[in-house]
Amino acid sequence: MNNSKQNKPTESEMEILQVMWEQGPSTVREVHEILSETKDSGYTTTLKLMQIMNEKGLLNRNDESKTHIYTAAVKKESIQKQVVSKMINGLFKGSSAKLVMHALGNHRASKQEILEIKKYLDEIENKESFKNKK
């Protein structure tokens, strides 16, 4: 059974996962150094969080050498999907359209992002049209 579905990452755990996804296999010290650039927290806090994340199934730990190497045990896309689903169902009462409109209203999208969004909407519309023709 996959614990990561039951144990959704906290905000601090998400920060560690972001580092792991970008950097790949890392030691606690490497993760802590990156986090220290933007956040004031101690090494032991990072260590404890990563140990908890290992227990929760969010990180894997290779302890074959003296320095333990951690890797993300969950895919970025999987966590994004969980977080967005929770946000849509909780904050936006099940409306993905309200989420998108809110996001676009609060953050300026680049021309490229707008083109990507339009392309994605066209793909969704084409899939729906195809389903309805069956």
The answer, yes or no, to whether residue 56 has pLDDT greater than 70, is yes
Tally of domains within the chain: 2
pTM of the predicted model as reported, rounded to 2 decimal places: 0.72
Summarize the confidence of residues 52-65 as an average pLDDT. Answer: 93
DSSP classification of residue 26: B
Nearest to 9 by CA among 20, 25, 24: 20
Which residue range forms the structural domain that includes residue 10?
3-72
96/55 same-domain check = no
Residue 70 has what pLDDT? 97
47/98 same-domain check = no
Calpha distance 45→62 (Å, rounded)? 20
Calpha distance 99→102 (Å, rounded)? 5
67/96 same-domain check = no
The answer, yes or no, to whether residue 53 has pLDDT greater than 60, is yes
The answer, yes or no, to whether residue 130 has pLDDT greater than 80, is no
Q: Which residues are bridge partners to 62 per DSSP? A: 69
Structural tokens at position 116 = 């990507």
Model confidence over 64-105: pLDDT tens digits?
Answer: 888 899 999 999 998 888 888 888 988 898 888 888 888 888
Model confidence over 4-32: pLDDT tens digits?
Answer: 345 689 999 999 999 999 999 999 999 99
Calpha distance 16→51 (Å, rounded)? 12
Summarize the confidence of residues 46-52 as an average pLDDT. Answer: 96
86 inside domain: no
Within its chain, how far is the Cα of 65 from the centroid?
Answer: 29
